[in-house]
């Protein structure tokens, strides 16, 4: 459902319960213990923990491949940067699809 992160706790200014709201693949939530949870593909559709961020869609496949215990860092980017990175990735995949089709179409193994 999600990745529970270890490390420095995120301090909350106020300890209030929030109304349940929609969550998405990549939402970063802060439960009462202060250790962030990143919701993955099988995450719940709603939640009441505060959300402090969102993993960019372009990075979700990388995140899903990280082994437990591995160290990684977040980098703050804008929505515009996230969109640009995703567009670049889509362009790369389209180029790869074209190259593979040109070089391997009709090849049987």
Flag whether 68 is in a domain: yes
Q: Is residue 45 part of a domain?
A: yes
Closest CA to 36 of 62, 12, 70: 12
Assigned domain for 35 exists: yes
Mean pLDDT of 65-74: 91
CATH number for the domain including 18? 2.40.100.10
57 and 84 Cβ atoms separated by less than 8 Å:
no
Q: Is 7 part of any domain?
A: yes
- The residue range of the domain holding 72 is 2-76
pLDDT band at 109 (very low <50, low <70, confident <90, very high): low
**58 located within any domain:** yes
* Mean predicted confidence (pLDDT) in 23-50: 91
67, 92 contact by CB (below 8 A): no
Cβ atoms of residues 52 and 36 within 8 Å: yes
Q: What is the number of domains present in the chain? A: 1
Distance CA 5, CA 74 (A): 12
pTM over 0.75? The answer is yes
| pLDDT score, position 104 | 82
In a domain, residue 65? The reply is yes
């Amino acid at each position: 459902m999600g990745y529970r992160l270890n490390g420095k706790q995120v301090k909350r200014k106020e300890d209030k319960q929030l109304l349940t709201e929609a969550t998405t693949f990549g939402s970063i939530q802060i439960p009462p213990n202060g250790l962030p949870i990143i919701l993955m593909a099988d995450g719940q559709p709603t939640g009441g923990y505060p959300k402090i961020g969102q993993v960019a869609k372009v990075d979700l496949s990388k995140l899903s491949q990280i082994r437990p215990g591995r160290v990684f860092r977040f980098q703050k980017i804008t929505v515009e940067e996230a969109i640009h990175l995703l567009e670049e990735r889509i362009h790369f995949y389209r180029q790869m699809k074209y190259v593979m089709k040109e070089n391997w179409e009709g090849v049987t193994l």
